[in-house]
A = this chain, B = another copy of it.
Amino acid sequence: MTSQSYTKSTSRSLPIALLRARETVMAPVRDMLQNIPMTEQKWRILRVLDELGEVEQSTIAHEACLLLPSLTRILRTMEADGQITRRQDNHDKRCTKVKITDEGRGILEENLLASLVISSNIEAQLGREKLDHLLNLLEELQAVKI
């Protein structure tokens, strides 16, 4: 840090450190997704739907870290591609319930192995204990109240 620098080192800035770490981790995932083809966002949506079952769009947006306007557009193409289905909720007609289709699940299944290889590679290099510790700290961080 020079006398000209007003802020602390970017490598010790949590937002920037999180971003850089994510770029490192995502590099091989992006390679995998390019072969499907599928975007990061659609992949996250499929994973969330696979995990949570049939949920409303706001839930997907929150879990997959997407804003609703983006989600609206992305789900439109995913529905057209047969990866998800959408239906109006009976009780609350404002809500749209979204569910993954067999075709959507198929995409997850087909890339399960490649996905595991990537995780294993990272785990092998960082060490299982450190990885677990990191995931725990990240979960704690999400619980911090702003």
Contacts and interface: CB of A to CB of B under 8 A. Distances in A.
Contact of A11 (B24, B121, B139): B139
A80 interface: no
Given A14-B119, A119-B14, A146-B27, A108 B6 contact: yes
Looking at chain A's contact residues, the main secondary structure is helix
A141 B15 contact: no
A144 interface: yes
A112 B24 contact: no
Interface residues of A, number: 60
Contact of A115 (B7, B44, B63, B115): B7
Given A17-B135, A134-B137, A144 B5 contact: no
A14 B123 CA distance: 10
